[in-house]
């Protein structure tokens, strides 16, 4: 399928982007019953948190950082985190900060309309106002910060620093933040409940700033000297998967008090020697005439990523941290609402407050109105930003249209 430039646009107060904007109009019409909507920093926070999809991390030390951001936007990346923390060696930090300021200044001067949402992952609270001050007018392209090693104690200091940065930047949308849960205080059994409770109270006080809560799986595994292989999902690492369940339990509730919790990073983009069979069945790829696509995915260890994204959603997580561009298309393709999901969600919401049980239009499941309402509302948010697939279109077709091979 033909790839065309990413179609962005301007909305009041900033930029607007759209998932799958790299597809041609004819391909969009063929793949989607309802195409994705544009979104931007002025969008409703609930919608924007779902719209993040695959958030691509880039080291701030990249020599052509501004060009790389623009290139990835053209390829369909809609949210980027420029990292000054673990991706940067201690002795390179000063140079990386200068490189970031130069790149953001270049992006601001270009006055482009198709910029992705841009966040910076800092190392310490004081970096936040210092960077905004150094950026000057170029801070207009900045949407917020990723706050690593976020604890109830350090988190308060981080949030005060963001308040200071907002005052420096002046009028406009508030700087959003994405705290990263990755500390020993929250992982260790003897302190977990107290720490999560304190985190919840802190985040609720700053709810207007909190875009999403992220999970730092690599740092969490490191506390026990663990590293999962590409044939093992994070849900097989019990010490971390137990924490994920508790984070969703306390911070991800669907009663209006919860936050979007995003999926942890998938570390692999090449396929080492395998012990187990590939995780992708052949039949969906044969049915959609894409057997070569399956071989490509397996060779890059993407079958493990596909399984983990599916498990993320089953466990209450939305979106995912990405460290390689090839992961973005996979996560976003799996975020598209299927034709069947959309019909079920519409039926549940259409039933109103009467409750009851409805047979699925596809006659293959039960739709129980009250228990499935929160799911249906979230599905409709996802449908707005990722679109609704046309009848008969599967993730195989979306991947085939999106992945370079």
The answer to whether 174 touches 163, Cβ cutoff 8 Å, is: no
Burial of 319 (0-12, 13-18, 19+ CB in 10 A): buried
Evaluate if residue 374 carries a pLDDT over 60: yes
Same-domain check for residues 271 and 373? no
Q: Cα-flanking dihedrals φ and ψ of residue 274, to 5°?
A: -100, 150
Residue 35 lies in a domain: yes
Residue 404 lies in a domain: no
The answer for residues whose C-beta is within 8 angstroms of residue 395's C-beta and 6 or more apart is 333, 334, 336
Same-domain check for residues 351 and 214? no
pTM of the model: 0.91
Same-domain check for residues 27 and 162? yes
Residue 240 lies in a domain: yes
Same-domain check for residues 204 and 246? yes
Record the tokens describing residue 31, joined without a space: 């793949």
Q: What is the pLDDT of residue 12?
A: 41
The answer for residues whose C-beta is within 8 angstroms of residue 111's C-beta and 6 or more apart is none
Residue 294: CATH number of its domain = 3.20.20.60
pLDDT in tens, 35-75: 999 999 899 999 999 999 999 999 999 999 999 999 999 99
Evaluate if residue 271 carries a pLDDT over 70: no
The answer to whether 60 touches 121, Cβ cutoff 8 Å, is: no
What would the mean pLDDT of 382-388 be, rounded to a whole number? 98
3-state helix, strand, coil in the chain (%, to 5): 50, 15, 35
Q: How would residue 297 be classed by pLDDT, with cut points 50, 70 and 90?
A: confident
Same-domain check for residues 116 and 98? yes
Residue 400 lies in a domain: no
Residue 282 lies in a domain: yes
Residue 403 lies in a domain: no
pLDDT in tens, 191-208: 999 999 999 999 999 999
- Report which of 252, 214, 187, 26 is spatially closest to residue 119, judged by C-alpha positions: 214
Residue 126 lies in a domain: yes
Same-domain check for residues 127 and 155? yes
Same-domain check for residues 332 and 368? no
Residue 385 lies in a domain: no
What would the mean pLDDT of 231-238 be, rounded to a whole number? 94
Same-domain check for residues 175 and 96? yes
Same-domain check for residues 51 and 158? yes
Evaluate if residue 113 carries a pLDDT over 70: no
Same-domain check for residues 307 and 202? yes
Same-domain check for residues 320 and 354? no
Domain, as residue range, for 249: 9-336
Boundary-marking domain end, from 306, 336, 366? 336
Same-domain check for residues 80 and 178? yes
What total number of domains does the chain contain?
A: 2
Boundary-marking domain end, from 275, 303, 336? 336
Least confident of 127-141, 163-177, 273-287: 273-287
């Amino acid at each position: 399928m033909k790839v065309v430039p990413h179609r962005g646009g301007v909305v009041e107060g900033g930029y607007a982007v759209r998932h799958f904007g790299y597809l041609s109009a004819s391909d969009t019409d063929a793949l989607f019953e309802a195409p994705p909507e544009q979104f931007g920093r002025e969008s409703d926070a609930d919608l924007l948190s779902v719209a993040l999809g695959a958030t691509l991390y880039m080291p701030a030390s990249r020599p052509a950082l501004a060009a790389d951001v623009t290139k990835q936007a053209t390829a369909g990346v809609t949210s980027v985190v420029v990292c000054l923390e673990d991706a940067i060696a201690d002795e390179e930090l000063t140079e990386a900060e200068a490189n970031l300021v130069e790149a953001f200044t270049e992006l601001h001067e270009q006055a482009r309309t198709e910029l992705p949402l841009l966040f910076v992952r800092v190392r310490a609270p004081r970096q936040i106002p210092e960077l905004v001050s150094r950026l000057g007018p170029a801070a207009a392209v900045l949407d917020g910060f990723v706050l690593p090693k976020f604890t109830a104690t350090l988190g308060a200091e981080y949030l005060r620093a963001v308040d200071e940065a907002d005052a420096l930047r002046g009028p406009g949308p508030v700087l959003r933040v994405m705290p990263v849960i990755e500390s020993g205080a929250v992982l260790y059994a003897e302190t977990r409940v107290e720490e999560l409770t304190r985190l919840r109270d802190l985040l609720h006080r700053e709810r207007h700033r909190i875009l999403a809560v992220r999970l730092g799986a690599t740092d969490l595994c490191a506390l026990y000297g663990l590293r999962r292989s590409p044939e093992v999902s994070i849900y097989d690492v019990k010490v971390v998967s137990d924490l994920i369940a508790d984070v969703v339990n306390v911070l991800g509730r669907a009663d209006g008090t919860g936050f979007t919790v995003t999926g942890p990073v998938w570390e692999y983009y090449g396929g080492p020697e395998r012990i187990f069979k590939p995780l992708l069945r052949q039949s969906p790829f044969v049915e959609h005439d894409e057997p070569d696509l399956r071989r490509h995915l397996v060779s890059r260890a993407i079958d493990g990523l596909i399984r983990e994204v599916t498990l993320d959603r089953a466990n209450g997580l939305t979106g995912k941290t990405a460290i390689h561009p090839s992961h973005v298309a996979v996560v976003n393709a799996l975020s598209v609402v299927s034709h069947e999901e959309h019909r079920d969600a519409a039926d549940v919401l259409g039933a109103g407050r009467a409750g009851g049980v409805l047979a699925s239009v596809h006659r293959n499941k039960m739709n129980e109105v009250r228990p499935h309402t929160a799911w249906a509302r979230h599905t409709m948010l996802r449908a707005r930003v990722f679109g609704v697939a046309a009848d008969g279109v599967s993730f195989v077709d979306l991947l085939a249209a999106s992945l370079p091979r």
